[in-house]
Structure 1
Amino acid sequence: MSRATKSKALRYLGLDLSLSSPGFAVIEVADRKPRLITTAHVKTGSDDPQALRYELIEAYTLLFLREQLRAGPFEAIVRETWPPARDYRQNDKIHGAWSAVDRALSRYGYEVNANLTPSSVKRTVTGNGKAEKAEVAAAVRRLLGLTEDYRFATDDESDACAVVLAYLIANDLIDH
């Protein structure tokens, strides 16, 4: 008589990065079912020098990774891309935030494995590439089996979840 074995749970990190409030999400998948482990974000102040804001993001990411990696490694790390802006200063800010997170990841031997466009994330999780933040958060709650009244601390956190979920769906790693 054979017995069904449970698959090992794999952990995925999603990143919704910005200079003002980068969002992080860890989702675990076992038997094709996603489960939210944690979300987080860090706020930086526009009054702080830009270089200090990058340092704050890197430091926060290091602490976040340190805590999360105690529970096990990440199978993949997925980031939402930034469409190039005409104003180079906007590009500089987002790429600085990316670099800060990349430096923290590299200290733990990780790097971003996949980059997804905002429209593909929205389309994959909601069915609409131009979905609003509330629609994305509702789809994330549904896909993760969270209650309707579950509230993320920020849109950055629900967006980071959406990034992971879009990756998992696109790679046929979860049932949806």
Structure 2
Amino acid sequence: MDLSLTSPGFAIIDVIDRVPHLVATSTVQTDSGEPQALRYEIIEAHALLFFRQHQPDSTITREIWPPARNFAQNDKVHGAWSAVDRALSRLGLEVTENLSPQTVKKAVTGNGRAEKKEVAEAVRKWLRLSPDYKFRAGYDDSDACAVCLAYLIRENLIDKIPEVAAA
């Protein structure tokens, strides 16, 4: 998961014979004009429906938010985390892994400072998607895939793609 108050991203990736396969992605856009509490409710409802439909049976990983000096930003991200945690809890699930943005980018692209377009390109390669596979605006679904892939790479559960491993 790549969580935010504006557009959290979710992804499910399955591994078959050490090859990752995209099962599903999803994002939900919240409206900045609505009360923050309502936005959290929308995220929680979306997460509940997404995880209820896909029933992950393994690790649930999220990208952590490096603390910012801006308390309001920290509050918004942690509120989104809490909303998703409530949804997962109702299904008997919980986040089991947390990865930093730099860890995710480094594992997936070879560059801990990669831009969103570079991450999306690497995700397409790892998942063997066509080069013109479209991720949503903002790349929140691509980022969620990258979080999943980074965990799978770290745990040596998938084979490296030569093009990406050389980066």
Once the two structures are superposed, residues 37-96 of structure 1 have per-residue CA deviations (whole angstroms, 9 ceiling, x without a partner) of 111000000000000000010011111112112xxx421000000000111111000000
Moved more, 149-158 or 127-136: 149-158
- Alignment of 1:48 onto 2:31: no
The reply on whether 1:76 has 2:62 as its aligned counterpart is: no
Match of 1:58 in 2: 44
- Structure 1 unpaired stretches of 5+: 1-14
Number of corresponding residues: 159
Instruction: Give me the TM-score of the superposition, normalised by structure 1.
Output: 0.89
Deviation per CA, 1:119-170: give whole Å up to 9, x if none.
Answer: 1100000000000111000000000000101111230000000000000000
Partner AA of 1:119 in structure 2: Q
Tell me the distance in 1 between the aligned counterparts of 2:32 and 2:116: 23
TM-score, normalised to structure 2, is 0.94
Structure 2 residue aligned with 1:126: 109
Please tell me the root mean square deviation across aligned C-alpha atoms, in Å: 0.7
Q: Percent identity?
A: 64
Match of 1:114 in 2: 97
Q: Report the equivalent of 1:161.
A: 145
Higher strand share: 1
Partner-residue secondary structure (3-state), 1:16:
coil
> 1:16 matched to which residue of 2?
2
Residue identity in the other structure for 1:19: L
- Where 1:29 maps in the other structure, the secondary structure is strand
Moved more, 39-48 or 60-69: 60-69
- Alpha-carbon distance between aligned partners in 1 of 2:50 and 2:117, rounded to the nearest angstrom: 26
Asked if 1:89 is matched to 2:75, the reply is: no
Q: Which runs of 4+ in 1 moved over 3 A?
A: none
| Equivalent-residue separation in structure 1 for 2:95 and 2:18 (angstroms) | 22
**Matching residue's letter, 2:36:** Q
Larger Rg: 1
1:140 aligned to 2:126? Answer: no
